[in-house]
Amino acid sequence: MKNKSLYRKLLLAMAAVGPGLFLIGYNIGTGSVTTMAKTGAEHGMGLFWALVLSCIFTYILMVAYGKVTLVSGKTALFNFKTQFQWGWVLSLYIIIALIIGELLALMGVMGIVADLVQEGIRLAFDGLVIKTFWIILFFSIILYFLLWYGRYRTFEKVLTILVIVMGLSFIVVFFMVKPNFSALAEGIVPNIPNTPGALGLIAAITGTTCSAAVFIMRSTVVAEKGWGINDLRTEKRDAFVSAAMMLLLSGVIMAVAAGTLHISGLKLENTIEMIELFEPIGGKLAAFILIIGIAGAGLSTIFPIVLIAPWLVADYTGRPRNIHSAQSRWLIFGAMLFAFGTVFLEERPPALMIFSQAFQACILPAVAIPIFVLINKKGLMQDHKASKKLNFGIILVILFSLITTWFAITEFL
């Protein structure tokens, strides 16, 4: 009976943070792994401050977007379209920019997952090599089948499993490789390294954590959960859990690379190199666990990515979110075709991921500024306008978004 009671409590706890888990699954993907590992390997924990700020600002905007959705009863893009004079232009810009960014990310994510699974098969079966095309096709068929028959609660359960597997994998590897804790502590002092690519990494950290897509999707998944105005406190707690888990998991990945690769003077150019570099440090078991964790991170990201187009269209038009409609299924099918992008492109998946994340950082001001206006609009929010503390936080997010956008433009243009 005690075991049943504990199991029931765990299920209730998971149900209470459903949207948070969905967004953890979206945020902590192969892009996060690549970015955090590369940052840790090249700069130790010196850019950890950027991750902390990004997670704090992610929490602030998630609370703001969730609150506006709960009070108004409408999702973000629909509010933008109806509450601003030229809101439809802003909404269309956000839709187009997010879909482009997510399709680029999808190519990178599936490419990295395929490379990792290929490496895992090679290690497990004495050098057997399966082409990445067949690996991508295998995962695409499974994912499309789940999306064809599944519902939001099904995705929540699948993402919960993937997030748990991913989190445990990274934490286990962290202790297996025994990073130098004194070196980690010394590297936490904030700085901006005067080296090529440092500004781009800061923008990528922001883009992969404080992502514009996260806040638009936050509005949608809160609505999908069926929460109302009486769930404001639950929404706030859910946002905190989500942001805290993002910080923990991303910080562990950065720390693993900083405490092992950085102090050994090793560099990281792609995710497969990460496995090859960790194998001598943590052994084959660590390599396999790392492959499982990163693949779990990638697959947990793909669900929200392929759902973003049908959900954004429903958000913009104010129609019910029905992923089983003909339009949604065609949009999902079209998105899945982009999963094969790295098979035909010369660009390596990690390079696509870094670029797509920096691209996301450039969209952040377009979602931070409008929500500041909406959450202070008396006609929309009634007695639930933002407090002085929340307004101050959103203003800081806007300033941070403008700075990181400038970093991204400086680095990549």
**pTM beyond 0.85, yes or no:** no
Structure tokens given for 15: 């149900």
The per-residue pLDDT for 329 is 84
pLDDT band (50, 70, 90) for residue 330: confident
Tell me the average pLDDT across 346-364. Answer: 62
Task: Please give the share of the chain, as a percent, with pLDDT higher than 90.
Answer: 7
* Least-confidence region, from 21-35, 73-87, 140-154, 229-243: 21-35
pLDDT band (50, 70, 90) for residue 179: low
Residue 391 has pLDDT above 80, yes or no: yes
Residue 76 has pLDDT above 90, yes or no: no
Q: Are residues 71 and 381 in contact, defined by beta-carbon separation less than 8 angstroms?
A: yes
* Least-confidence region, from 281-290, 353-362, 374-383: 353-362
Q: Are residues 303 and 155 in contact, defined by beta-carbon separation less than 8 angstroms?
A: yes
Residue 282 has pLDDT above 90, yes or no: no
Phi/psi of residue 264, each to 5°? -90, -5
- What Cα–Cα distance (Å) separates residue 277 from each residue in 110, 269, 283, 284, 308? 22, 11, 10, 11, 35
Sign of the alpha-carbon dihedral angle for 135, 139, 140, 142: positive
The per-residue pLDDT for 390 is 93
The per-residue pLDDT for 283 is 66
The per-residue pLDDT for 396 is 94
The per-residue pLDDT for 139 is 85
How many whole angstroms separate alpha carbon 265 and alpha carbon 195? 15
134, 101, 137, 105: which is closest to 30 by C-alpha?
105
How many whole angstroms separate alpha carbon 54 and alpha carbon 237? 18
Helices (H) and strands (E) in the chain, counts: 18, 0
pLDDT band (50, 70, 90) for residue 10: very low
The per-residue pLDDT for 280 is 62
209, 155, 185, 175: which is closest to 21 by C-alpha?
155
Mean pLDDT for the chain?
A: 77
- Tens of pLDDT, residue by residue over 143-158, are 888 777 766 566 656 6
Q: What is the DSSP letter of 386?
A: P
The per-residue pLDDT for 16 is 46
Tell me the average pLDDT across 119-136. Answer: 84
374, 372, 369: which is closest to 402 by C-alpha?
369
The per-residue pLDDT for 349 is 52
Tell which phi-psi region holds residue 265, choosing left (phi > 0), alpha (psi between -120 and 50) or beta: left
Residue 245 has pLDDT above 50, yes or no: yes
The per-residue pLDDT for 399 is 92
The per-residue pLDDT for 11 is 46
